[in-house]
Structure 1
Amino acid sequence: MKKITYFILIVLSFLELSCKKFLDETNPNNITLGNYFKTENDFNLAVNGAYNQLRGLYNSRSAWTMGEMRSDNTHYDYKSSDQAVATVNRCAVADFLDDKFNNQTPPKWNAGFNTISAANVIIDHIDDITLPDASRNSILGQAKFIRALAYFDLVRYYGGLPIYPRAPLTRAETYVARSSVQEVYNLIIADATDAAAMLGAPAFPQTGRATKGAALTLLGDVYMSLKKYDLAEQVLKQVTGMGYTLFPNYGDAFQLANKNGRESVFEIQFNTALAVPQANVEGSVYNFLPRMVNTTVVTGVNFNNVTTVGGFNTPTQDLISSYEAGDQRLDASIAIAEGTFNATDDFTATAVKSVVGYTAPAGKVGRPFPKKFLHTHTIGGQTNDNWPVYRYAETLLLLAESLNEQNKGGEALPYLNAVRSRAFGNATANITSTDQTVLRAAILKERRAELAFENKRWLDLVRTGNAITVMNAFGVKQKVLYSYLQTGSYNVTQNRLLFPIPNAEILLNEKLTQNEGY
């Protein structure tokens, strides 16, 4: 946000000085926001740029640090010799010891507002030229979906936010106070509603662009966060009639051949075939593996992830133990790197084993890692996986939850059991109870198994009111397992349900206030 704002202010200052010193006319050869958009393709390129900003928001180290490591799903490999600032700060987020100076959480804030800025430029200038109605709706609908998605992510992690209904062009428009959480949600709902009205239904195979189905799923998720369950039901039921379906096997949803397939509602796009591959690749799994000088045994590619900071987002035994017997998602989501740690806590893998029923043999260590994002690739750190934001399985679980919260347990069961039947390969594990309390716990557990490592768990714990109880209890178990944890870790209070506003933003904008407890 700061970089884009500075650029705009510099451009404005330059234009003002140029006009005063030379002419009152703008040089027609200079490209400015006022004359850039001349064709439909210019808008399409801008939309592509806005999608690109989502990578830093939904698929980055801050995203999985805050969405998974903050929860009971994942932890980290402690390395006593690696106490670099970034490492210590990332571990602090997992241990609830982070503060306003932490350098691992601000990238999410920055990426979110960069995304909002990119979307705002499109929204502000959509009427600079005359576009066919279909093109205008598509472009504007995508921009509003992207802006809503960014604000929705940020408000859940940070609370009230500065609202920018248009790209700020002056200092006064840039440095604004935080709006209330409800005001932010009002903007999100308006944008998502507009997007749903403007965008077309999905056509398969999909292109990766936002559709009506994606906008409605986002809107349903928003209503669930606001506990407006009847409204969530209304919009999510529309999605069930749009041609989405679950792949027969859980692991199929993450195969490269199935990117943007019938189970995909919206995913962040990556493509190693593009001209600038380093900007278009997904390699998060290398962060999730243990630190290894050579990753060949696990990835098939010789890559040193010791220096690129492996050893994070490690599946916890608490998560592994939570899977029911026969749940195929366990083996599809997690694998074991078998080998040994050396004296400096780096790992040498000798085999990859199934996590199901695994027991390490004598002299070996079994280190779990998220498997669902690891697929055949040829260059280390470049797996070509897309990153799921919404899958149809989540749409079904959100719908089941919305119905259960309205005491419609009988209506909720088919949607819940559609997900479970796929997970277990048959209907024998279907849930039959319609008791609201029983189903509430079952749906939360189902979301944990279905959406593991997709950066949903922490948000789910907060949204359902379980974060404080679950994470304090989890912390007690963690301290028994790991002697390196500090006494004050896992002291989870109400204030810890939000992250601190980055201190640099507070210093830059005196109108911003910090979240309580930081």
Structure 2
Amino acid sequence: MKKISCLILVILSLVEISCKKFLSEVNPNNVTLGNYFKTQNDYDLAVNGAYSQLRGLYNNRSAWVMGEMRSDNTHYDYKSSDQAVATVNRYAVADFLDDKYNNQTPPKWNLGFNAISAANVIIDHIDDIKLSDANRNAILGQAKFIRALVYFDLVRFYGGVPIYKRAPLSREETYIPRSSVQEVYDLIVADATDAAAKLSATTFPQTGRATKGAALTLLGDVYLTLKKYDLAEGALKQVTAMGYALFSSYGDAFQLNNKNGKESIFEIQFNTGLAVPQANVEASVYNFLPRMVNTTVVTGVNFNSVTTVGGFNTPTQDLISAYESGDQRLDASIAIAEGTFNATDDFTATAVKSAVDYVAPAGKVGRPFPKKYLHTHTIGNQTNDNWPVYRYSEVLLLLAESLNQQGKSGEALPYLNAVRERAFGDALHNITSTNQAALQTAILKERRVELAFENKRWLDLVRTGNAITVMNAFGVQQKAKYSYLQAGSYNVTQNRLLFPIPNAEVLLNDKLTQNPGY
């Protein structure tokens, strides 16, 4: 017993000495940003984390609510008994009745800055250890691409936003004012240019990571938006020499076995086999179906979408009518769920039909839905689709537009017609007019049907100065068709071309100013 007591006293003495010693030293088990990056693998994991942030940005409902439902491409199934906040706020975005308190648009802001933060951490610490030039360029190029891509998204939806060139380490660095639109674009161009210089050329099969082709496509898109058409042409022509090509069939571009294929420039990676499935799967198609107690007839999997996700991003007749006769993209992009709505506006599907020349039989309703993201899967609300950000067909259309805007209309035709020949299966529908205004209209129409449901339509309307005219006219049609629309809906003004800065952000940061009209 005495020996034990003495031993305890010795241990206590050592503990006291040890405590004094360790209080003045850094705990080696405490991982901070200052000591995290020790190997190449640490950077690879950080880059993977930055890519994962893009999942939320592109498959969150704000992406298609703001990119498609805001436009003349899609609408929603109105359900008078569903007045949940999220539902009403989603209706409001589509109807141009949203305000700064709307809860459907802030996720784009929040998720975007999450991705920027993840990229900034990598950029800030790229020189913490010695890397080979090739590895350093690959890591930094991907981080710069992600940051440029996200800022390009944010500036088009919100206007000028705060610029963070490094991860903020204090309250003063966090709560900063908005930069001007031009300053944001300056950063985007610098990042995309640097990414293009650092990233390797595309090799096939692709891995899903950003490449020089992706960075140049982003740069070309940015230059086109800035009306720097000659610079857009220069960037995009480089992409056409990198081995990309169109699949022979439009629908093949979205098949699961063609992920990251020859037509893919950059797509967001999703995988149902990863842990925490809901964070890693792309299941937007379930939002696009009508509200159904049982989705088996449409998806092959039983899932109840009545109380959770269904009823949104419904293709409009205006969009369906935009497809020319013989355009194979209609059948590949849109299908018809045929069935009946009950008294509470929930749907029972009895068949799936082609949208081509569809006429509902007596006693049935044909409800269109985006088909291009519906592929075989085994768990409801969990598909294995990737989300396309840039496809090679868009490169061709961006290049055609940049050439036409410079008065090189004849040079633009082959790029436009390459997309059309794939769509129609022949050259009989090629466009031959070199009238600049007429060709610009044709290119924009081509973008509408080629890129439907890829969240491009609203941005195209704003970029080309057509949003106010097109959406006010569309609103007249909508209000004549749907009695539930409020009289003040579709009053599209200059202020409505941007979305409100999330009100919570304005309350947190008194240096932020709200967009006009909100």
Which TM-score band applies after superposition, normalised by the shorter structure? over 0.9
Using the TM superposition, give the Cα deviation of residue 483 of structure 1 relative to its aligned residue in structure 2, in angstroms: 0.2
Using the TM superposition, give the Cα deviation of residue 24 of structure 1 relative to its aligned residue in structure 2, in angstroms: 5.0
Report the Cα distance in structure 2 between the residues aligned to 1:81 and 1:409, rounded to whole angstroms: 52
Alignment partner, residue 227 of structure 1 = 227
Larger Rg: 2
Using the TM superposition, give the Cα deviation of residue 28 of structure 1 relative to its aligned residue in structure 2, in angstroms: 1.7
Is 1:291 the counterpart of 2:291? The answer is yes
Give the alignment's TM-score, normalised by structure 2.
Answer: 0.96
Residue 24 and residue 230 in structure 1: after superposition, are their counterparts in 2 closer, same or farther (change >3 A)?
A: farther
Alignment partner, residue 8 of structure 1 = none
* CA deviations over 1:351-410 (Å, ceiling 9, x no partner): 000000000000000000000000001110111000000000000000000000000000
Alignment partner, residue 413 of structure 2 = 413
Corresponding letter in the other structure for 1:93: V
Alignment partner, residue 430 of structure 2 = 430
Using the TM superposition, give the Cα deviation of residue 117 of structure 1 relative to its aligned residue in structure 2, in angstroms: 0.2
Listed as ranges, the matches of 1:194-273 within 5 Å are 194-273=194-273
Listed as ranges, the matches of 1:498-513 within 5 Å are 498-513=498-513
Using the TM superposition, give the Cα deviation of residue 275 of structure 1 relative to its aligned residue in structure 2, in angstroms: 3.0
Report the Cα distance in structure 1 between the residues aligned to 2:320 and 2:272, rounded to whole angstroms: 32
Alignment partner, residue 497 of structure 1 = 497
Alignment partner, residue 444 of structure 2 = 444
Using the TM superposition, give the Cα deviation of residue 23 of structure 1 relative to its aligned residue in structure 2, in angstroms: 4.2
Report the Cα distance in structure 2 between the residues aligned to 1:23 and 1:178, rounded to whole angstroms: 42
Report the Cα distance in structure 1 between the residues aligned to 2:25 and 2:317, rounded to whole angstroms: 67
Report the Cα distance in structure 1 between the residues aligned to 2:61 and 2:280, rounded to whole angstroms: 16
Corresponding letter in the other structure for 1:414: P
Alignment partner, residue 130 of structure 1 = 130
Corresponding letter in the other structure for 1:86: A
Q: Secondary structure at the match of 1:266?
A: strand
Give the alignment's TM-score, normalised by structure 1.
Answer: 0.96
Using the TM superposition, give the Cα deviation of residue 93 of structure 1 relative to its aligned residue in structure 2, in angstroms: 0.1
Report the Cα distance in structure 1 between the residues aligned to 2:500 and 2:200, rounded to whole angstroms: 38
CA contact (8 A) 2:124 2:166 kept: yes
Alignment partner, residue 349 of structure 1 = 349
Q: Secondary structure at the match of 1:357?
A: coil
Alignment partner, residue 16 of structure 1 = none
Alignment partner, residue 471 of structure 1 = 471
Q: Secondary structure at the match of 2:30?
A: coil
Report the Cα distance in structure 1 between the residues aligned to 2:260 and 2:399, rounded to whole angstroms: 21
Q: Secondary structure at the match of 1:367?
A: strand
Corresponding letter in the other structure for 1:60: N
Residue 436 and residue 21 in structure 1: after superposition, are their counterparts in 2 closer, same or farther (change >3 A)?
A: farther
Using the TM superposition, give the Cα deviation of residue 276 of structure 1 relative to its aligned residue in structure 2, in angstroms: 3.0
Corresponding letter in the other structure for 1:211: T
Q: Secondary structure at the match of 1:34?
A: helix
Residue 470 and residue 139 in structure 1: after superposition, are their counterparts in 2 closer, same or farther (change >3 A)?
A: same
Report the Cα distance in structure 2 between the residues aligned to 1:406 and 1:41, rounded to whole angstroms: 46
Alignment partner, residue 311 of structure 2 = 311
Alignment partner, residue 115 of structure 1 = 115
Alignment partner, residue 57 of structure 1 = 57
Report the Cα distance in structure 1 between the residues aligned to 2:287 and 2:103, rounded to whole angstroms: 17
CA contact (8 A) 2:86 2:104 kept: yes
Report the Cα distance in structure 2 between the residues aligned to 1:127 and 1:115, rounded to whole angstroms: 20
* CA deviations over 1:33-56 (Å, ceiling 9, x no partner): 101111111111110110011111
Corresponding letter in the other structure for 1:494: Q
Q: Secondary structure at the match of 1:91?
A: helix
Report the Cα distance in structure 1 between the residues aligned to 2:99 and 2:225, rounded to whole angstroms: 25
Alignment partner, residue 515 of structure 1 = 515
Using the TM superposition, give the Cα deviation of residue 21 of structure 1 relative to its aligned residue in structure 2, in angstroms: 12
Is 1:458 the counterpart of 2:493? The answer is no
* CA deviations over 1:104-160 (Å, ceiling 9, x no partner): 000000000000000000000010011111111000000000000000000000000
Corresponding letter in the other structure for 2:174: T
* CA deviations over 1:300-355 (Å, ceiling 9, x no partner): 00010112220000000000011100000000000000000000000000000000
Q: Secondary structure at the match of 1:184?
A: helix
Alignment partner, residue 482 of structure 2 = 482
Report the Cα distance in structure 1 between the residues aligned to 2:78 and 2:29, rounded to whole angstroms: 56
Alignment partner, residue 328 of structure 1 = 328
Report the Cα distance in structure 1 between the residues aligned to 2:42 and 2:141, rounded to whole angstroms: 16
Using the TM superposition, give the Cα deviation of residue 22 of structure 1 relative to its aligned residue in structure 2, in angstroms: 7.5
Unaligned 5+ residue runs, structure 2? 1-19
Q: Secondary structure at the match of 1:314?
A: strand
Report the Cα distance in structure 2 between the residues aligned to 1:355 and 1:430, rounded to whole angstroms: 23
Report the Cα distance in structure 2 between the residues aligned to 1:309 and 1:141, rounded to whole angstroms: 37
